[in-house]
A and B are shown apart, each in its own frame.
Chain A
Amino acid sequence: MDNRAQHWADTKKLMFKTLGIWFVFSILIHLFAGALNGSSFLGFPLGYYMAAQGSLIVFVITIFWSTTQQEKIDEKHGVAEEDQ
């Protein structure tokens, strides 16, 4: 596999990882909100907390993490932009 193809394969892998996290916290976890409300976190019912705050925090961290990873992938394969 040439460098471009390898770069794209790595990029795709990261994309699927990122979307995996996204899927868990945007969709999956809210299907169980009723059950999660049985336990509490920081004094909040957990199901409510995840929708009001928890998922949002995860999204912010995920984006910062995945952009940093993507920059590393670009640099590793020598396709990053030159600094201006």
Chain B
Amino acid sequence: MFKGNFIDNLPKIYGLYTGGFFIFVILMAILEQAGVSASTIGILFVAFTIVIYAAIGFLSRTMQTDAYYVAGREVPTVFNGMATAADWMSGASFVAMAGGIFFGGHSYLAFLVGWTGGYVLVSSLMAPYLRKFGCYTVPDFIGTRYGGNTARFLAVVVLVLASFTYVTAQINATGTIAARALQIPFEIGVWFGLLGILLCSMLGGMRAVTWTQVAQYIVLIIAYLLPVFWMSNALDFGLIPQFSYGAAVERISELEKMHGLGTAATESFAGLRILSTPHSDVAAGGMASWKFISLALCMMLGTCSLPHILMRYFTTPSVKAARKSVAWSLLFIFLLYFTAPALATLSKIQMLDPNLATGIIGKAFSEVQSLDWIQNWSNVGMLAISDSNGDGILQLNEFFMRADIVVLATPEIAGLPYVISGLVAAGGMAAAMSTADGLLLAISNSLSHDMYYKIIDPSADTRKRLIVARVLLIAIGAAGAFVASMKLTSILGAVAWAFDFAMSGLFFPIVLGIWWKRANRQGAIAGMFFGLVSGTAYLYYVGPKFMAMEPWLGIDHLRFGIIGASVSLVAMVVVTLMTEEPDEATQKMVDDLRVPAGDTIIAQK
């Protein structure tokens, strides 16, 4: 049934895979009806999907540099779009985002705008030109365009700092989900998660990661959309809720007034919060607007500076395909992102509306207390209810919850069968694993290619280079798991920092390297160095865990990239103009970079 080569058969292979996954979900539903316990179903979901990813990783093993670093540059447009979407959507997008919207309302939607708008910049400013360049890694571009090991080295430093911050958050997320689904302690869950991640990437590098990411995208998008469609139809908001949940948004505004939203809680529970921000109101004032757009801006500039995303566009067969593939990536990402507010809205209305069977606010306290999902989540300390005013009714300010659990708990809140919860856990695992894979590979590839091969030992043969790459992959993964097991930061905080680090050091050196022929080595070095140093210093100055000083103009620790990138731009332009323009050969390189036709700039060995 499979004639021709692997690439030509991709639609068939992934079609079968999707069908197989649906059959697996149905099988689990049947098992649930037959009386198999919820925990067994959870274990089966997570274990089954990880085994599939590991099998794909094993089948994609390779000993060729081109396959290991850029998947042989043969990934078709649409599939690269799916892989990028999985690479991009992390545990934070899948698990935490809808919860953030649930509690944070409109101001939180800045993440949504930022994490999609960034792709407009990727497609028009960066991806096609980097593909034409023919580099293996982002520092490879910086090192060749500007010349010299200092520039290359600084790019590696920024990449490692940003990606490592990000990857600890992802390993943390895989550990959290593995711990819950497999019922093992978090500290062991983290190492288990790492094992799954390494199985996908170690033998086949970028090629293996590409094909597992496509498989992971399919699982995560099904897991995200299915519960929302289900809830929407149960609540009569129509078949496709994304376009028709407006009425629910309006209804929530009424319910918020009815339940007395904004009344402060009289008790508090560590890490848990009550609902106090209006769902759809926009905070008034210039500062609130500035906070919205500055956060969106950081996320957008960060998006196009994150090497694990940029390197996905090195894997397409052509410049044209790289460009189109950015469009497909955004479409696939959009499917999840425009569902997130719908999920938050539908989940919230289920809780708030006393006319619904699932409503809990305004119901008798003892009745709510006996609900299974309230008990399950209370037992692990992620939810709490307390009859503070002793009236026997659960009030809005007596319901405490961790924002991160909204997505995971929604199927239970809506009274959906447990099979859906298992599916959501598998989806969250897929989201966190796929991002962690991309990040670990970005770090180890740039260390093995740019540091080891280009700077330390340019005479190393292919075999040696690929062994070094794998050893680094394991070492960095282990370091990430070790840091994650210490639980230093929240998942979302770490993710925002990664974006800020990346934009501080890399945004302007990459963009100006393509769009400004005059940009030279000294300027790029100054841009990366001063951008990173000023951004990091500012983070240290305002960071709540560091000096915790009053933020300047509302630029808090989530937005420090605004400072870093501004300094980077000024430093790069000033230093470039003070020093001489790049030589003839470099200028010719930039000219060639700007047209799709012709050979790549770097011929890789």
Q: Residues on A close to B: CB < 8 A?
A: 4, 7-8, 11, 14-15, 18-19, 21-22, 25-27, 30-31, 33-34, 37, 40-45, 47-49, 51-53, 55-57, 59-60, 62-64, 66-67, 70-71, 74, 78-82, 84
Chain B's closest residue to A22 (CB) is B120
Q: How far is the CA of A63 from the CA of B324 in the complex (A)?
A: 8
Q: How far is the CA of A64 from the CA of B325 in the complex (A)?
A: 10
Check B341 against A53 for contact (C-beta < 8 Å).
yes
Check B117 against A66 for contact (C-beta < 8 Å).
no
Partner of A84, one of B116, B282, B300, B317: B317
Residue of A21, A42, A56 with most partner-chain B CB within 10 A:
A56
Check B280 against A43 for contact (C-beta < 8 Å).
no
Instruction: Tell me, yes or no, whether B121 is within 8 Å of chain A by CB.
Output: yes
Check B595 against A44 for contact (C-beta < 8 Å).
no
Q: Contacts A60-B331, A84-B318; is A27 near B246 (CB within 8 Å)?
A: no
Q: Contacts A43-B249, A52-B112; is A63 near B594 (CB within 8 Å)?
A: no
**Residues in B whose Cβ lies below 8 Å from that of A78:** 597
Instruction: Tell me, yes or no, whether B319 is within 8 Å of chain A by CB.
Output: yes
Check A4 against B591 for contact (C-beta < 8 Å).
yes
Check A43 against B319 for contact (C-beta < 8 Å).
no
Instruction: Find residues 171-194 in chain B having any chain A CB closer than 8 Å to their own CB.
Output: none
Instruction: Find residues 316-363 in chain B having any chain A CB closer than 8 Å to their own CB.
Output: 317-320, 323-324, 326-327, 330-331, 334, 337-338, 341
**Residues in B whose Cβ lies below 8 Å from that of A21:** 120
Q: Contacts A53-B338, A59-B120, A63-B119; is A30 near B320 (CB within 8 Å)?
A: no
**Residues in B whose Cβ lies below 8 Å from that of A60:** 116, 327, 330-331, 334
**Residues in A whose Cβ lies below 8 Å from that of B319:** 81
Instruction: Tell me, yes or no, whether B110 is within 8 Å of chain A by CB.
Output: yes
**Residues in A whose Cβ lies below 8 Å from that of B331:** 60, 64
Partner of A81, one of B324, B326, B341, B596: B596
Q: State the interface size on chain B (CB cutoff 8 A).
A: 52
Q: Residues on B close to A: CB < 8 A?
A: 106, 109-110, 112-114, 116-117, 119-121, 123-125, 128, 242-244, 246-247, 249-250, 280-284, 289, 292-293, 296-297, 300, 317-320, 323-324, 326-327, 330-331, 334, 337-338, 341, 591, 594-597
**Residues in A whose Cβ lies below 8 Å from that of B282:** 33-34, 37, 47-48
Chain B's closest residue to A51 (CB) is B109
Check A67 against B326 for contact (C-beta < 8 Å).
yes
**Residues in B whose Cβ lies below 8 Å from that of A25:** 117
Chain A's closest residue to B247 (CB) is A43
**Residues in A whose Cβ lies below 8 Å from that of B250:** 43, 45
Check B113 against A26 for contact (C-beta < 8 Å).
yes
Residue of A37, A45, A66 with most partner-chain B CB within 10 A:
A45
Residue of A14, A60, A74 with most partner-chain B CB within 10 A:
A60
**Residues in A whose Cβ lies below 8 Å from that of B289:** 30-31, 33-34
**Residues in B whose Cβ lies below 8 Å from that of A62:** 120
Check B249 against A44 for contact (C-beta < 8 Å).
yes
Q: Is the interface of B mostly helix, strand, loop or mixed?
A: helix
User: B152 → chain A, closest Cβ, in Å?
Assistant: 27
**Residues in A whose Cβ lies below 8 Å from that of B292:** 30, 33
**Residues in A whose Cβ lies below 8 Å from that of B596:** 74, 79-81
**A-B pairs with beta carbons under 8 Å apart, 10 shown:** A8-B594, A14-B124, A33-B282, A37-B281, A42-B243, A52-B112, A60-B330, A63-B123, A66-B120, A70-B323
Check B597 against A59 for contact (C-beta < 8 Å).
no
Residue of B106, B112, B331, B594 with most partner-chain A CB within 10 A:
B106
Partner of A34, one of B284, B338, B594: B284
Residue of B300, B317, B338 with most partner-chain A CB within 10 A:
B338
Partner of A67, one of B114, B242, B280, B323: B323
Residue of B114, B246, B250, B281 with most partner-chain A CB within 10 A:
B246
Residue of B116, B124, B247 with most partner-chain A CB within 10 A:
B124
Q: Contacts A8-B594, A43-B247, A81-B597; is A71 near B280 (CB within 8 Å)?
A: no
Check B337 against A27 for contact (C-beta < 8 Å).
no
User: B325 → chain A, closest Cβ, in Å?
Assistant: 9
Known: A26-B297, A45-B249, A56-B337. 13 other contacts (CB 8 A): A4-B591, A18-B120, A30-B110, A31-B293, A44-B249, A55-B113, A55-B117, A56-B113, A59-B334, A63-B119, A63-B330, A70-B124, A81-B596
**Residues in B whose Cβ lies below 8 Å from that of A66:** 120, 123-124
**Residues in B whose Cβ lies below 8 Å from that of A55:** 113, 116-117
Chain A's closest residue to B289 (CB) is A31
Check A48 against B280 for contact (C-beta < 8 Å).
yes
Check B249 against A22 for contact (C-beta < 8 Å).
no
Q: How far is the CA of A56 from the CA of B284 in the complex (A)?
A: 23
Chain B's closest residue to A7 (CB) is B595
